[in-house]
Amino acid sequence: MAAALLEPPPTFLNFNRHHHPHHHHTSFPRTSHSLKLQKNLPSCLPASITPQTQEQEPAALPEPETGSVPDRSRDRRRVVKVAWEKLLRWSRSWRSRNQTPDVLERTNKVVVLGGGSFGTAMASHVASRKPDLQVHMLLRDPLICQSVNDHHCNCKYFPKHVLPNNVIATTDAKTALFGADYCLHAVPVQFSSLFLEGIAEYVDPGLPFISLSKGLELNTLRMMSQIIPQALKNPRQPFVALSGPSFALELMNKLPTAMVVASKDKRLANSAQQLLASSHLRISTSSAYAQLVTSDSCSDVTGVEIAGALKNVLAIAAGIVEGMNLGNNSMAALVAQGCSEIRWLATKMGAKPATITGLSGTGDIMLTCFVNLSRNRTVGVRLGSGEKLDDILSSMNQVAEGVSTAGAVIALAQKYKVKMPVLTAVARIIDNELTPKKAVLELMNLPQVEEV
């Protein structure tokens, strides 16, 4: 069962709410130190242990006694302990009130489309949650297929990681899709439409698709929520977007990770949450958070998808700054500007600002822009160091979606009349119409305007 600790706690966790002015459980010496502490105490501290401020300040304040510092230290630790215990009680209470049928228990087969690093990591993750669950990977490469079936590893991406025995690989779409309860789509965006059209006849109209792919289709500017139903010729194909800061290698190593699912069908989003969430993978639902910050109860699929696509382009820009050794000030300024540009475009497209500042937005941006495992950042670092794009791409064994997404992002910006100087500069560099050095000079010479 999934947890929901990433959602803002309900109002009953506002500890000041139950304060009664006549309840004085703890008394504090009226010293200059305690008054300063009192003024700086956050409002979220329990009222029962917050110094009372209604009393009239005494005329003379005594000097602090020798034992007052340890006393205050113990009180502070007690405040933290009480707050933590309240949080754990809220967690247990939430779980007991939100008991739902176990989706994993009722699921017999999951199919994963694509055998890249992230598709493999998610196949391994789902398979490890239930030993008798059939997890079929539909692959194109017969060598990887044989590696998975004979040696229980993906010889191309994770040769040293052992996959669960219930992960089965095949190149036959009919075999992979027959009887599947859920489908995890991990095919790169630019190849998804053609791939899906080729297997459409074997896809059940009610099969839920959980998209792991991030990006925009270059010529059509479509997101996966548009590509999948149109390629399958079924506008009602159930769809869930999964996004957030998540490197495949760390998932394979079972390191703590948090992601977000979004769907216009709230029940389907909850089912995907229950299917995927585990002790090391937290899954939040976009719809649950949206209901707390806006009156619209519909999941923010657009926000989750557009943030996941645009962050790849920004990561290339961050890599260029690193490759040119422009320093930390430049990196911080560029990423902040890029976050604003993503927010401008996403909100124009109907996304909610809360989504852009959440896991699938800011969370994913931080991971992709600042960590060396990022493929898109690596492309940027090498561009900033003076390498040619063709040489960079030919040496990589994985797809850097930001390269193909950059042009689509600028087309969207023009469509929605949004100025995006940083992301536009990346597209110009990728098209070999601007050098990284020239791009930096032009960006620094833009008009000094008010921050928005």
**Catalytic residue set:** 311
List % helix, strand, coil for the chain (3-state, nearest 5).
50, 10, 40
Strand pairing class (257-262; 239-243): antiparallel
Residue pair 101/270 in contact (Cβ under 8 Å)? The answer is: no
Helices (H), 115-265: 117-129, 142-151, 173-177, 189-199, 224-231, 248-252
**Number of other CB atoms surrounding residue 99 within 10 Å:** 8
Residue pair 240/263 in contact (Cβ under 8 Å)? The answer is: yes
The tokens describing 444, both together, are 């620094």
Task: Count CA atoms closer than 13 A to 304's CA, side-chain side.
Answer: 31
Query: How far, in Å, CA of 96 to CA of 35, rounded?
Result: 42
Helix (H), strand (E), coil (C) string for 32-101: HHHHHHHHHCCCCCCHHHCCCCCCCCCCCCCCCCCCHHHHHHHHHHHHHHHHHHHHHHHHHHHHHHCCCC
Query: How far, in Å, CA of 424 to CA of 419, rounded?
Result: 9
Query: How far, in Å, CA of 149 to CA of 201, rounded?
Result: 26
Query: How far, in Å, CA of 397 to CA of 379, rounded?
Result: 12
Q: What b/e readout covers 208-243, taking b as 16+ CB neighbours within 10 angstroms?
A: bbbbbbbbbbbeeebbbbbbbbbbbebeebbbbbbb
Query: How far, in Å, CA of 287 to CA of 303, rounded?
Result: 11
Q: What is the residue type of 216? A: L
3-state secondary structure of 271: helix
Angstrom distances, CA of residue 177 to CA of 44, 68, 136, 192: 51, 69, 8, 16
Residue pair 213/183 in contact (Cβ under 8 Å)? The answer is: no
